Structure 1
């Protein structure tokens, strides 16, 4: 159990950078995979080869038939599956620790930008999802969804068709179905986490582009102000050269004009 505890401690360090969906994936990984495989899986599949019995005493026939029935042991296949799934998060943890040590050790080295760290985590989730899908397809092609209790084997070194029998086929079938269901759940959580990261990073990228456009707009010179247009003269109004009469002298000016006109008429009459 020492190697499982070491792997679990490394996966626990990923929680510092994981969202809620990523932490759910870690719970599924640590409990429903590592813990179940270390406690139940070993007891179910540890005697797989010893209890594989064939109705022949021909030397080498039973080993050859077992190899044809199970090209890769279930337990070793799932162990390699867990190790490969844990590789992207562990590499991300190593990268984060390296960046933190570089920031603390160098005076001129500034902290790594969050977008770079986010892209690294996004890449680790994508690699994890690809590995999950590849192993689900490999398990379906190698073993199917049922462990058959009987296996007919023919070919050298067996002298004829040999009947071989698997120990506890029902229990192994249940475990195979359980592990495949856990793989599907893990793949769905990885897809949800990938979509969450892409959706979360999209508005921030838009804000960064808007901020860059605003900064570029501030650096550009202001556009020239167009000259103000003069109002067009009213065709029904007085000409432009005419001077308006004072407002206060409108009534008095009219009286003087009438008096001067009467004086001119008297002079003409004389």
Structure 2
């Protein structure tokens, strides 16, 4: 398998990932792919030849090896690495789909018009694609750990196994090659897989909490805008009521008792005399 090509494909996912996603990708390459390529492949390279049984019965060693190792650790880990990194390509394909839509939109409406502010930003459908990929990766990791534990009953590799499968003449002892070394690498790969599961869960929590915080901020801004508009409306209504109330009160206020009494007691002759005096010319200078 060409792991360099595999690394080149996954490197495109790094720029669309969060901080937890970048740490996850580093753990996959450094602690899993590199260990797999450099050391683990060589340790399990001659496992069937080193699987020795204390009998010369033809076919007994092969049958016992197939019984205890239905699938090799090294091949199971290779499948795990392939399957666990495939969901990351969903994000790359979604971004490529956005880029294609953006290109067609600009060709139709001009270069100044944009359909997306940033095609790689995790909003809308891309956010859901990224979140689903995290759930799928976590599920694949858990499934392969369960398969490994179910096939070998545990993550521990014994030095000696007893086999009574036909065509073995009786219960024979079979010895596994490099058992301690294989056990160390098994624990290491299982631990790296567990670390990747923890990072995926942390990234899921980070994305969901960030989305909830963004929605809460939008709701708070909307409430503040509505409160400001309501306050402005109340102030305008209050000002209008203050201006109109004195005039209404003056118009609706009945005449006082004193003014009514004065106007009724005043003789009409005085009013006529005042009018004549006001209209007569001033002859005092004569």
Q: TM-score, normalised by structure 1?
A: 0.76
**Structure 1 residue 105 displacement after superposition:** 3.4
Question: Does residue 149 of structure 2 align to residue 140 of structure 1?
Answer: yes
Equivalence map 1:175-186=2 (5 Å) = 175-186=185-196
**Structure-2 separation of matches of 1:98 and 1:207:** 30
SS in 1 for 2:161: strand
Where does structure 2 lack aligned partners over 5 or more consecutive residues? 110-114, 247-252, 260-265, 267-286
Equivalence map 1:34-45=2 (5 Å) = 34-45=33-44
In structure 2, the partner of 1:131 is 140
Equivalence map 1:68-79=2 (5 Å) = 68-79=67-78
SS in 1 for 2:157: coil
In structure 2, the partner of 1:150 is 160
**Structure 1 residue 145 displacement after superposition:** 2.4
Structure 2 residue aligned with 1:188, among 192, 195, 198? Answer: 198
In structure 2, the partner of 1:250 is none
The structure where helix makes up a greater share of residues is 2
- Count of aligned pairs between the two proteins: 237
Determine if contact 2:90/2:129 at 8 Å carries over to the other structure. no
Q: Deviations over 1:141-162 (max 9, x none)?
A: 2231221111111121212112
In structure 1, the partner of 2:13 is 14
State the Cα RMSD in Å. Answer: 3.6
**Structure-2 separation of matches of 1:202 and 1:230:** 49
**Structure-2 separation of matches of 1:244 and 1:158:** 134
Determine if contact 2:162/2:171 at 8 Å carries over to the other structure. yes
**Structure 1 residue 95 displacement after superposition:** 2.2
Structure 1 residue aligned with 2:175, among 152, 162, 165? Answer: 165
Question: Does residue 216 of structure 2 align to residue 202 of structure 1?
Answer: no
SS in 2 for 1:151: strand
SS in 2 for 1:27: helix
**Structure 1 residue 74 displacement after superposition:** 0.4
The farther-off stretch of 25-34 and 8-17 is 8-17
**Structure-2 separation of matches of 1:155 and 1:137:** 25
**Structure 1 residue 132 displacement after superposition:** 1.2
**Structure-2 separation of matches of 1:51 and 1:72:** 16
**Structure 1 residue 210 displacement after superposition:** 6.5
Where does structure 1 lack aligned partners over 5 or more consecutive residues? 232-238, 246-255, 257-270
**Structure 1 residue 108 displacement after superposition:** 4.8
In structure 2, the partner of 1:23 is 22
Q: Deviations over 1:143-190 (max 9, x none)?
A: 312211111111212121121111110000111111111111111111
In structure 1, the partner of 2:263 is none
After superposition, the Cα gap between the structure-2 partners of 1:115 and 1:243, relative to the gap in structure 1 and judged at 3 Å, is farther
The farther-off stretch of 39-48 and 109-118 is 109-118
The farther-off stretch of 160-169 and 99-108 is 99-108
